[in-house]
Structure 1
Amino acid sequence: MTREEIHEKVADVLVQALGVSRAEIKPETSLVGDLEAESIDFLDIIFRLEKTFGIEVARGELFPQEMLRDPQLVQGGKLTEAGVAALRDRFNFTDLSQLTVGQNVEELVNDLLTVRTIVDYVESKLRLASSATV
């Protein structure tokens, strides 16, 4: 499956889960900031991604809400050095080079949870699945 095909299917998932217009969905679109997704929506998105792509999304693997409540990773609403390292490790499927110590977590959620991030995630899961079956 090409990256473009993955993007199209991710867009379909988001249209169905969030009731948004297809025109609103671009790679840089923020799920929270632009599409106003909430915690309950993330469950629906995960369910639909699993069904659409035949993948399993482990709890917290794509949406890091629990990590961002960990006092070792976030202090005073800002990322710690350990938080940056943990997020880069968890999200090793996408580019987090812009992540910095002291970054505001609320802004980070908008920047991190984008359509591009979901496409990167699905692409990495499909790549792992195909290499496991070879």
Structure 2
Amino acid sequence: MAVSKDEIFKKVQTALVDALGVDEEDVTPEATMVGDLGAESIDFLDIVFKLEKAFSIEIPRKELSPEDILTNAEFVKEGKVTPAGIAELKKRMPFVNFTKFEANPNVREFSNLMTVGDLCRYVESKVAK
């Protein structure tokens, strides 16, 4: 049975409230996972576990955090993600809006890229299969 966008958002919201100890009203589609909600790398393990359980899906780590791109000299020059790197990120993470990041593709800014809405779109793509 198909899961609606609202149901996906509610389950993602619950997972984030549980994992991050944030208030429900702070978990909006526009909120960034790191900057607004304070998620750290260890929290993502908990979030992934909660989402896998809530939706009966498997989330391969590389799909949500493609560190190999950000540490590859072919894709990063002088602390900035190259156009080839951005193209690779878009290919691997089609659920993320890269517009803001493309304006300032600083590697340090990457962790503050993903929003709750992006995470919901990712889950949507997984439950649709």
Q: TM-score, normalised by structure 2?
A: 0.88
**Per-residue deviation, 1:71:** 1.9
Q: Is the 8 A contact 1:13 1:45 kept in 2?
A: yes
Indicate whether 1:36 and 2:38 are aligned. Answer: yes
Partner of 1:86: 88
Number of aligned pairs? 127
CA distance, structure 1, for counterparts of residue 66 and residue 98 of structure 2: 14
**Per-residue deviation, 1:98:** 5.2
CA distance, structure 1, for counterparts of residue 104 and residue 30 of structure 2: 23
**Per-residue deviation, 1:67:** 2.6
Match of 1:105 among 89, 107, 115: 107
Q: Which runs of 5+ in 1 are unaligned?
A: 129-134
Q: Is the 8 A contact 1:30 1:115 kept in 2?
A: yes
Q: Is the 8 A contact 2:16 2:22 kept in 1?
A: yes
What SS does the aligned partner of 1:37 have?
coil
CA distance, structure 1, for counterparts of residue 73 and residue 104 of structure 2: 13
**Per-residue deviation, 1:101:** 7.6
What SS does the aligned partner of 2:17 have?
helix
Go from structure 1 to structure 2 and tell me whether the alpha carbon gap of 1:26 and 1:122 turns closer, same or farther (over 3 Å shift).
same
**Per-residue deviation, 1:103:** 1.3
Q: Percent identity?
A: 46
Q: Is the 8 A contact 2:86 2:102 kept in 1?
A: yes
Q: TM-score, normalised by structure 1?
A: 0.85
**AA of the residue aligned to 2:122:** Y
**Per-residue deviation, 1:104:** 1.4
Q: Which runs of 5+ in 2 are unaligned?
A: none
Go from structure 1 to structure 2 and tell me whether the alpha carbon gap of 1:102 and 1:27 turns closer, same or farther (over 3 Å shift).
closer
RMSD: 1.7
Q: Is the 8 A contact 2:101 2:109 kept in 1?
A: no
**Per-residue deviation, 1:65:** 3.1
Go from structure 1 to structure 2 and tell me whether the alpha carbon gap of 1:99 and 1:107 turns closer, same or farther (over 3 Å shift).
closer
**Per-residue deviation, 1:100:** 2.7
Question: What whole-Å deviation, never above 9, does each CA across 1:21-72 have from its counterpart, x for those lacking one?
Answer: 1111001101111111111111111111101100001121112334322222
Question: What whole-Å deviation, never above 9, does each CA across 1:61-120 have from its counterpart, x for those lacking one?
Answer: 112334322222222221112211110100123443555386112223212x11011100
